[in-house]
Structure 1
């Protein structure tokens, strides 16, 4: 990304999908920032945002449990070209006093702030976290450049961070853009002689253990330029990040670090080994951004015993360099999903898929699986979510992907009812759900990650209450054998259109009291809303204002 991409007219195109949630420009920009710079998934990004009047200057709150920080977010999108001084930063500093301590937080909750902000504070347990010592950090996000007054204010107030045009452009990861650090850096190679691998005349690789104390001295860590080709650079509360930080904080673990750490990959234009020193020129880290960033943030905890296996590659071939970058970042950590890819349940389901309609549908049971040209690919991750929402009636958990192949695996997949036909039917129903969800008037809800799974649970109740429809779902193969599958999903779409009308009225009646971010994670609230919608539909059927599902599929 170039700095000019953040000029107003260019940025409007980038944030257009986020404005479809009917958010203001600045909040849409903040939404984009959270997903593309902080690397949050869409549900977590939406949950962090507060987008209602009287938000007390707080556009969002995100809790980074890895760093034990409460990030108070404020986004500003400016149309006219100018610079940003210290004025908005001072305003943010004032805003942060509302979360200065437990008493201040309670005063905010008791005051006239909008309900969405209050729910955001309660949902994140801000009072409790402050009592535990979490730091409150202000994060200012803007599409213009900071001037010297702004930079000076940041130097004086370390509780503030600013992401201006230049910083955002530098931290946005674009694999097609060249980047890195120009200049020299020297590593100590006296601990052990590096292993040297020469690949024809195109690349020379040096493999050696390097002290974390050396890595944190490299330039470009703070502004991200060192990692400009590391496509998995991220900020988040992942298990990997937490485990990494815990290992760094425990000095007794330092000598074991190379045993369970994947290491770092550094590309450079030139490398010279002499006098037990490895000197590199013009370099970039293509894998290991999380590790080096964690080392930097915990620099006072590092010891000489903490070493990382480094692979330093001298290379001038840009094509090969790009290939190394991509492959380095595609070596993903093993996930529970990967461990289940050879499970007999998954293998059986995949084989079942191949027998339906001449292999029209395929089940992807592991990442990187080859797909037959022209087939419709359904991942077992999506299949698990559909089954979790429809069969287990737990739409509130569908954003917690780890449950699909871990805690809930047997309940979701290891049942006689789970067949390829069942998954395909649910997939086709979901296609119709996503189509009608566009008619939800409140766009933040329409585009929220859990909304489609809530509607799937509504369909589940609808089908189970209809004798004829439930028979089809007990034996979904019948829908294909009798060629009624299209009629079946069309009938569901017709009913959903009516239900969406009622949902729109329900949301309008609730007004600010409607907390979709909290309600769609609450089994009780989900059941209450689902029951209201279905009762309204049943009344329409009784009054001959709507057709029953049985009539529509007969």
Structure 2
């Protein structure tokens, strides 16, 4: 059965038929849901296909990777498609560079998503144009793709517009489909043809090693580069094409010095559970690249040019490392020379290490994860495992009262790190924030037990932090301490003791719904377009949440039969003034 037939069969399900008008939309929705791992609410929110879609079928803004996916889908049973779909992608790229004009002539759904894109541009997100198809490009279309890739690379060098274009054709779509059917940590088994390579096969410290100069045109064929599955054991994923080093790599590949790439580059390190070498065929099982993620993603962004390069090599080191702990050490140490994110740089900060020591000393069953890619030992209680990145997001939402920037990891660990992370921060408060947020996330699921607005559910990357913020504000308002922040440990203890945790979460969820509804009906100056994603990232969302909570408490006190509920709530929320402190500035 072809990938076209498989998808055609899957999109006959009620979910696709009831929510999307035609097979073209259903195909794009299938891709978002299965490949980009959007849930059903996020998928529905991302689809922009329809009249006046301006050749943009879907937009996904990934705040974690700071990446904008602009997607054009072609669902066809034919073997080949010409360059027309690529020209449609090019058209969307040209129009995207003038967002104001594009927004004026696009459909209502696209207008809202473009407002979200504009905000992402302000935060210097990159753009990845993706053509997804169940067919293959003709030879002439492949030439056009190469031209487009070069054009985007040149523009990224000369202008403040970092973008790439990717082709997800029949073969790549099939591979990603099969990958999606596997576990969350899929295993990549790959055979690399070394016929045109210069290599040696040796054993060091009881470990099989293959070191070689591998042609880039063979490297670009390796599975799992674009979707990141090849880098599962790496300490970080791609830093993007705007990275200075990556720009230089791309310049070399597209310039006349490409034959010197081997001498300019430090090399790539890959590990696998097992590898066999026979007749110049290197068979690898459980393949993962632990150093070279940036380079391989940059090489992939120039794939059509790279496929034609002769005498252009990169140094590759392949190690057979079945031991997980040893693999992790190799990953960490081989990445020490590269520029990393602020979060990575803070992992060994004395304040962070002190918080880790205090937390694990207080909670023997717990574990404080400080490094990206680190995994808690299996004997630790998952309810007492906290990640440094998550803690930073919790702190800025609760103590700085700025959940609208909780999604911005770079700001937290760069601009606001000194303010947020204090050596004397109590481990009890760390765990209380952990428990509040863990419990909140149990309700932010597709079944929607809180009856959250569908738009809120589509913003799971950042809206739950507003829910955490709303809980803190409910305690502050109830104690007439609107300008101060409650101590997390006391709030959790009060709510848990009174068996009111679930009730408070439900109440604040209702307030979130009210705040969004109020914002959506507010008159926008200059005939602007209301974007829920931009609202949730603005300070105005905080004002709306505060008002909704104050209104909820006031109404509860006047509701018929609500006296007992009101009294129980106020008794639970009651705190001593000494358990409040002024918020940490983060503006």
The TM-score normalised by the length of structure 2 is: 0.65
Deviations 1:115-164 (A, max 9, x none): 214425534559x99xxxx9x9863324xx316xx535633643586424
Question: Aligned partners of 1:254, 1:484: CA distance in 2, in Å?
Answer: 60
Question: Aligned partners of 1:470, 1:528: CA distance in 2, in Å?
Answer: 12
Q: Structure 1's 237 and 93: CA in aligned 2 closer, same or farther, altered over 3 A?
A: same
Shift of the alpha carbon at 1:456?
1.8
Q: SS of 1:185's equivalent?
A: coil
Question: Aligned partners of 1:249, 1:91: CA distance in 2, in Å?
Answer: 25
User: Residues 14-33 of structure 1 correspond to what in structure 2 (within 5 A)?
Assistant: 25-32=26-33
Shift of the alpha carbon at 1:452?
0.3
Instruction: Return the match for 1:408 from 393, 413, 416.
Output: 416
User: Residues 181-200 of structure 1 correspond to what in structure 2 (within 5 A)?
Assistant: 181=191, 183-188=193-198, 196-197=202-203
Q: SS of 1:529's equivalent?
A: helix
Q: SS of 1:428's equivalent?
A: helix
Could you tell me which residue of structure 1 aligns to residue 118 of structure 2?
122
User: Residues 424-435 of structure 1 correspond to what in structure 2 (within 5 A)?
Assistant: 424-435=431-442
Are the aligned partners of 1:180 and 1:228 in contact in 2 as well (CA < 8 Å)? Answer: no
Name the stretch that deviates more: 244-253 or 390-399. Answer: 244-253
Instruction: Return the match for 2:467 from 455, 465, 469.
Output: 455
Deviations 1:359-390 (A, max 9, x none): 45543344234354445222232222111111
- Are 2:135 and 1:146 equivalent residues in the alignment? yes
Could you tell me which residue of structure 2 aligns to residue 110 of structure 1?
104
Question: Aligned partners of 1:117, 1:185: CA distance in 2, in Å?
Answer: 48
Are the aligned partners of 1:63 and 1:70 in contact in 2 as well (CA < 8 Å)? Answer: yes
User: Residues 456-471 of structure 1 correspond to what in structure 2 (within 5 A)?
Assistant: 456-467=468-479
Deviations 1:518-553 (A, max 9, x none): 222223x32343244234324414534663742444
Are the aligned partners of 1:195 and 1:207 in contact in 2 as well (CA < 8 Å)? Answer: yes
Deviations 1:496-522 (A, max 9, x none): 244245246447747994412222222
User: Residues 193-342 of structure 1 correspond to what in structure 2 (within 5 A)?
Assistant: 196-197=202-203, 204-207=208-211, 210=213, 215-218=215-218, 221=221, 230-232=230-232, 238=239, 242-249=243-250, 257=264, 263=269, 269-270=276-277, 280-283=280-283, 286-287=288-289, 288=292, 290-292=294-296, 294-295=298-299, 308-312=314-318, 327=327, 331-332=331-332, 333=335, 336-337=342-343, 339-342=345-348
Q: SS of 1:139's equivalent?
A: strand
Q: Structure 1's 304 and 427: CA in aligned 2 closer, same or farther, altered over 3 A?
A: same
Name the stretch that deviates more: 367-376 or 69-78. Answer: 69-78
Q: Structure 1's 421 and 243: CA in aligned 2 closer, same or farther, altered over 3 A?
A: same
Are the aligned partners of 1:469 and 1:550 in contact in 2 as well (CA < 8 Å)? Answer: no
Q: SS of 1:445's equivalent?
A: helix
What is the aligned-residue RMSD (CA, Å)?
5.4
User: Residues 460-539 of structure 1 correspond to what in structure 2 (within 5 A)?
Assistant: 460-467=472-479, 474=486, 485=497, 487=499, 489-503=501-515, 505-506=517-518, 509=521, 513-523=529-539, 525-539=540-554
Could you tell me which residue of structure 2 aligns to residue 550 of structure 1?
570
Q: SS of 1:73's equivalent?
A: strand
Shift of the alpha carbon at 1:343?
4.1
Deviations 1:249-301 (A, max 9, x none): 56699687455x55456986336xxxxxxx83245674246524534655979
Q: Structure 1's 198 and 385: CA in aligned 2 closer, same or farther, altered over 3 A?
A: closer
Question: Aligned partners of 1:229, 1:502: CA distance in 2, in Å?
Answer: 40
Q: SS of 1:218's equivalent?
A: helix
Name the stretch that deviates more: 283-292 or 114-123. Answer: 283-292
Shift of the alpha carbon at 1:450?
0.6
Could you tell me which residue of structure 2 aligns to residue 274 of structure 1?
none
Could you tell me which residue of structure 1 aligns to residue 454 of structure 2?
443
- Are 2:381 and 1:382 equivalent residues in the alignment? no
Are the aligned partners of 2:131 and 2:167 in contact in 1 as well (CA < 8 Å)? Answer: yes
Q: How many residues get paired?
A: 498
Name the stretch that deviates more: 231-240 or 430-439. Answer: 231-240
Instruction: Return the match for 1:49 from 41, 46, 49.
Output: 46
- Are 2:173 and 1:168 equivalent residues in the alignment? yes
Q: Structure 1's 532 and 75: CA in aligned 2 closer, same or farther, altered over 3 A?
A: farther
Name the stretch that deviates more: 432-441 or 390-399. Answer: 432-441
Q: Structure 1's 464 and 535: CA in aligned 2 closer, same or farther, altered over 3 A?
A: closer
Segments of 5+ residues of structure 2 without an aligned counterpart are 149-164, 575-587
Question: Aligned partners of 2:120, 2:390: CA distance in 1, in Å?
Answer: 28
Question: Aligned partners of 1:122, 1:73: CA distance in 2, in Å?
Answer: 17
Segments of 5+ residues of structure 1 without an aligned counterpart are 272-278, 314-319
Are the aligned partners of 2:268 and 2:316 in contact in 1 as well (CA < 8 Å)? Answer: no
Question: Aligned partners of 1:162, 1:99: CA distance in 2, in Å?
Answer: 15
Q: SS of 2:415's equivalent?
A: coil
Are the aligned partners of 2:33 and 2:43 in contact in 1 as well (CA < 8 Å)? Answer: no
The TM-score normalised by the length of structure 1 is: 0.68
User: Residues 90-105 of structure 1 correspond to what in structure 2 (within 5 A)?
Assistant: 90=84, 93-94=87-88, 96-97=90-91, 99-100=93-94
Question: Aligned partners of 1:462, 1:370: CA distance in 2, in Å?
Answer: 36
- Are 2:351 and 1:345 equivalent residues in the alignment? yes
Q: Structure 1's 337 and 6: CA in aligned 2 closer, same or farther, altered over 3 A?
A: farther
